[in-house]
Amino acid sequence: MYSSALTISKDVRIRALWVSKMGKRIDLVVVYKILLALKEHGGSLNVTQLIKAIKSSGTTVERYVEILKSRGLVEEKSNRERRIYITKKGEDYIFLFSRLLAVFGELR
């Protein structure tokens, strides 16, 4: 089963949840994985490629893409295929989250 916890080392695992105003739980590690996959693949992927890249279900990816679009972290463009693009704000999120991972990775 897909685990949203991110392992930095044998000793450190991070699971970061945020509860929205609507009471929905948003896993910030899933957000990070989606954004990182987009950045690592040239800034955009179609939805099928994104599902494979983060090894998650289509339902999860679709849900998180909608959340990320509403927060301005990604944009969606449809030409011949539906593609998801990372925005500058999404790249900033990767930077900040990677700093968090670095700090926790140093705590041993």
| In the chain, where the domains are located | 6-106
Could you report the per-residue pLDDT of 26-77, keeping only the tens digit for each?
Answer: 888 889 999 999 999 999 999 999 999 999 999 999 999 999 999 999 999 9
Average pLDDT, the chain: 82
| Confidence band of 15 (pLDDT split at 50, 70, 90) | low
Could you report the per-residue pLDDT of 39-48, keeping only the tens digit for each?
Answer: 999 999 999 9
CATH pick for 6-106 out of 1.10.10.10, 1.10.3720.10, 1.10.357.10, 3.40.50.150: 1.10.10.10
Burial of 14: CB neighbours in 10 Å, binned 0-12, 13-18, 19+: middle
Closest among 101, 81, 106, 105 to 36, alpha carbons compared: 101
What pLDDT does residue 22 have? Answer: 60
What pLDDT does residue 108 have? Answer: 43
